[in-house]
């Protein structure tokens, strides 16, 4: 039996997705947001319920701010500032990402203080923004912070090493293969190794292939 295809340009589909976003149940709303991400932002973002940004679920708030950032207006910009102070690290990380996507270089003074966050998700997003939009000095600061995340060999630092590896798969930096190779060769956590290998594949760092073969053997 062939799987039914969804026409995301269809007006009825748009209305059905927007209706789903009015549900109270977290699961239903997250499913609706997943579908909304596949719709034309010009059509759907202006009609998204703004209450999503104040939803009781951190997962909903985080997903919603990323959608609103696709077609920002003055209201959503104000919401980003508020969400940078959110109690949820996932929401703060999404707000940092949204601020960077909208303001680019101008976001750096706003999000730079969050470089000191103890939450690896937030730190990763700040480092990513500095690497993408900062000057040479700012980028060097970002690389130093990336290095600290990789070199934190404690159990508490495991998630930071995972986030650092993921970052290396999203942003190219000449020094990243050195650290990915080290994670692949010497890392005790299978999750970190998997993230480092995936990052090497995303950015096609050929110098890491030998480390992958070494680890597999």
Are residues 125 and 193 part of one domain? no
**Measured between alpha carbons, how far apart are the two ends of the chain, in Å?**
42
In Å, what is the CA distance from 210 to each residue of 72, 144, 158? 44, 25, 23
pLDDT confidence of residue 153: 87
Nearest to 63 by CA among 89, 30, 14: 30
The fraction of the chain above a pLDDT of 90, given in percent, is 59
CB 23 within 8 A of CB 32: yes
Give residue 164's pLDDT: 96
Q: Which residue has the higher pLDDT, 2 or 127?
A: 127
Name the domain boundary from 114, 134, 154.
134
Same domain, 103 and 172: no
For 3-44, write each residue's pLDDT tens digit. Answer: 445 555 567 788 888 888 888 889 999 999 999 988 888 888
Examine the domain organization and report whether 71 and 148 are in the same domain: no
Q: Give the pLDDT confidence of 67-101 residue by residue, as tens digits.
A: 988 888 777 778 888 899 999 999 999 999 999 99
Half-sphere exposure of 37 (CA within 13 A, CB side): 12
- CA dist 184 and 162 (Å) reads 11
Q: Are 174 and 81 contained in the same domain?
A: no
3-state secondary structure of 22: coil
Mark whether 9 and 64 lie in a shared domain. yes
Q: What is residue 165's predicted lDDT score, i.e. its pLDDT?
A: 95
Per-residue pLDDT tens digits for 111-128: 999 999 999 999 999 999
Tell me, yes or no, whether 23 and 96 share the same domain.
yes
Q: What is the reported pLDDT for 217?
A: 66
Q: Give the Cα separation of 89 and 143 in Å (integer).
A: 22
- CATH code at 199? 1.25.10
Same-domain check for residues 156 and 89: no
Note whether 130 and 213 are same-domain residues.
no
- The confidence score (pLDDT) of residue 6 equals 53
pLDDT at 105 over 80: yes
Residues 29, 101 within the same domain = yes
Identify which has the larger pLDDT, 7 or 198: 198
The pLDDT assigned to 183 comes to 92
Q: How many domains does the chain have?
A: 2
**3-class DSSP assignment, residue 206:** helix
Model pLDDT, residue 2: 41
14 and 111 housed in the same domain: yes
Give per-residue pLDDT as tens, 129-141. Answer: 999 999 999 999 9
Q: Whole-angstrom Cα distance, residue 188 to residue 179?
A: 15
Residue 3 confidence (pLDDT): 40
Worst-scoring range by mean pLDDT, 58-62, 156-160, 169-173, 210-214? 210-214
Of 51-65, 154-168, 195-209, which range is least confident? 195-209
Residue 8 CA to residue 30 CA, distance in Å, equals: 17
The residue among 91, 114, 134 that closes a domain is 134
- Could you tell me if 9 and 97 lie in one domain? yes
Containing domain of residue 49, as a range? 1-134
Can you give the pLDDT at residue 42? 87
147 and 120 within one domain: no
């Amino acid at each position: 039996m062939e799987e039914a295809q969804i026409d995301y340009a269809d007006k009825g589909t748009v209305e059905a997705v927007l209706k789903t976003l009015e549900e109270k149940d977290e699961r239903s709303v997250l499913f609706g947001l997943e579908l909304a991400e596949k719709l034309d932002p010009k059509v759907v973002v202006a009609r998204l319920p703004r209450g999503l940004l104040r939803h009781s679920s951190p997962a909903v708030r985080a997903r919603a701010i990323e959608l609103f950032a696709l077609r920002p207006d003055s209201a959503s910009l104000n919401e980003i500032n508020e969400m940078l102070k959110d109690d949820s690290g996932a929401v703060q990380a999404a707000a940092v990402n949204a601020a960077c996507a909208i303001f680019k270089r101008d976001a750096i003074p706003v999000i730079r203080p969050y470089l000191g966050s103890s939450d690896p998700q937030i730190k990763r997003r700040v480092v990513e923004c500095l690497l993408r939009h900062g000057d040479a000095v700012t980028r060097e600061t970002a690389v130093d912070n990336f290095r600290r995340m990789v070199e934190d060999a404690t159990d508490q630092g495991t998630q930071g090493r995972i986030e650092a590896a993921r970052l290396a798969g999203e942003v190219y930096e000449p020094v990243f293969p050195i650290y990915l190779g080290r994670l692949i060769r010497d890392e005790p956590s299978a999750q970190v190794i998997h993230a480092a290998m995936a990052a090497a594949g995303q950015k096609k760092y050929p110098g890491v292939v030998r480390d992958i073969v070494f680890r597999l053997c």
